[in-house]
Chains A and B, each alone.
Chain A
């Protein structure tokens, strides 16, 4: 699975070791992810999928090894990397005290964009008519969509998504899959964890990285 780093490599793991609560989640894990790839990290609960995503995002520090962006340690190029990275965790950073539109506006502005049409974007995630609703009053799925709306207005190449389909209905999942494919075609990459089956992204396109539960 470890192939050479090429000119199109976006994200790499170099001998990553992760230890949580005195347990080794994964040891000396290495891979390269190229532009245009859609990668699913799979494995049972507790195998370290979220930990791996967080390490790749630079939120967690690995016990040993390095996460790299275009061949450089992400700690050394944090500014460039953050500029090109879109990470959505379990908790998506949606404020219940703000409306769906305010949340989206804030997220996009803090990411640096100033030329967006929030109504149109919310329309794409089927939140038309809920612009003024406080996020705290939205359903779980709508809440999640509010966070995911950022994906429709971004020029970040690297998408790290932790369970993006949670609470999203079938049609919504399909729309997201379309978006991922389009993103990959435009030279981006998607790295995600999910337990849900995908209908559009087939196994021929999807690359899988498997983490196994280790008892020691």
Chain B
């Protein structure tokens, strides 16, 4: 009986389990994605179909819809584990909690963030986004959605033990999403004007690194409170 599992192996064990469960539960993947598409298609109906107007507001719409979709999908991040006791086992496992948390957030991002990025260009077509902006849209989503998952997971970890989650969760995490929203949309705007946007990307990248380092600790501490 030797304990021969390295941290990396433990990380991938948890990642694999979460992906496996999600694949057997496909609704969890598609619902946030459908929500994202639906919200975006509502805007032309509300604002009017003029291509100039739509292409002006497209970056904002896509990003705000992405924030909401990410937040909604996050709600279930720790819920099932909390309900069936797996979360307690995770807190008591000899593996570092931050690492376990990171594996869960990564699994969640692969399942919900990546499809969001993949479907975004399609929605951009519907909203007449500037041709120059597609690269920036993809790049900001690729760098930005993991930040959303990491920050959002803190709010989810704080509310997982509560019966009323939804509205409270949005109050906790949407303010934290503001910087990502600002830099991502202005990067796309800048790209539309053929201006360089690598500076914006660098800032979002810095946010990603910062939240990768700090968020797992906050999530871990929050989970310890929630399972108390």
A–B touching in complex (CB under 8 Å): yes
B194 within 8 A of A: no
B31 within 8 A of A: no
* Contacting residues of chain B (68-126) with chain A, CB-CB under 8 angstroms: 80-81, 83-95, 100
* A: number of interface residues (CB 8 Å): 34
* B: number of interface residues (CB 8 Å): 33
The reply to whether A94 and B84 form a contact with Cβ atoms under 8 Å apart is: yes
**Chain A contacts of B84 at CB under 8 A?**
91-96
The reply to whether A115 and B88 form a contact with Cβ atoms under 8 Å apart is: no
On whether A98 and B20 interact (CB within 8 A), knowing A107-B89, A110-B90, the answer reads yes
Task: Give min CB distance, B40 to chain A, whole Å.
Answer: 31
State in angstroms the CA–CA spacing of A106 and B11 once bound together.
11
The reply to whether A112 and B95 form a contact with Cβ atoms under 8 Å apart is: yes
User: Which B-chain residue is minimally distant from A116 (CB atoms)?
Assistant: B1
Identify whether the interface residues of A are mostly helix, strand, loop, or mixed: loop
Q: Per-residue CB proximity of A39-83 to B under 8 Å, as 1/0?
A: 000000000000000000111110000000000000000010011
The reply to whether B228 and A59 form a contact with Cβ atoms under 8 Å apart is: yes
State in angstroms the CA–CA spacing of A110 and B84 once bound together.
16
The reply to whether A98 and B85 form a contact with Cβ atoms under 8 Å apart is: no
Q: Which of B2-10, B157-165, B208-216 contacts A (4 or more CB under 8 A)?
A: B2-10
State in angstroms the CA–CA spacing of A40 and B9 once bound together.
36
**Chain A contacts of B10 at CB under 8 A?**
109-110, 112
A190 within 8 A of B: no
User: Which B-chain residue is minimally distant from A105 (CB atoms)?
Assistant: B13
State in angstroms the CA–CA spacing of A87 and B100 once bound together.
18
On whether A114 and B1 interact (CB within 8 A), knowing A91-B88, A93-B86, A95-B86, the answer reads no
Task: Give min CB distance, B74 to chain A, whole Å.
Answer: 19
State in angstroms the CA–CA spacing of A110 and B86 once bound together.
11
Q: Contact partner of B228 among A60, A92, A96, A155, CB < 8 A?
A: A60
**Chain A contacts of B90 at CB under 8 A?**
110
User: Which A-chain residue is minimally distant from B13 (CB atoms)?
Assistant: A109
**Chain A contacts of B88 at CB under 8 A?**
59, 87, 89, 91, 93
**Chain B contacts of A98 at CB under 8 A?**
17, 20-21
The reply to whether B92 and A112 form a contact with Cβ atoms under 8 Å apart is: no
The reply to whether A59 and B91 form a contact with Cβ atoms under 8 Å apart is: yes
**Chain A contacts of B93 at CB under 8 A?**
82, 110-111
**Chain A contacts of B3 at CB under 8 A?**
83, 111-114, 155
The reply to whether A61 and B24 form a contact with Cβ atoms under 8 Å apart is: no
B190 within 8 A of A: no
Task: Give min CB distance, A52 to chain B, whole Å.
Answer: 14
A154 within 8 A of B: yes
A132 within 8 A of B: no
| Sample of 20 further A-B pairs with CB below 8 A, known A79-B94, A110-B89, A112-B4 | A57-B92, A89-B88, A93-B81, A93-B84, A95-B86, A97-B20, A98-B20, A102-B20, A110-B5, A110-B13, A110-B14, A110-B90, A110-B100, A113-B1, A113-B4, A114-B4, A114-B5, A115-B4, A153-B1, A155-B3
By Cβ-Cβ distance, the 10 closest A-B pairs, closest first, are A91-B85, A112-B3, A93-B86, A93-B89, A93-B85, A83-B94, A114-B4, A97-B21, A112-B5, A97-B24
Jot down 24 A-B pairs with beta carbons below 8 A, ordered by A.
A59-B228, A82-B92, A82-B93, A89-B88, A91-B83, A91-B84, A93-B89, A95-B17, A95-B86, A96-B84, A106-B17, A107-B89, A109-B10, A110-B10, A110-B14, A110-B90, A111-B3, A112-B95, A113-B2, A113-B3, A114-B3, A114-B5, A153-B1, A155-B1
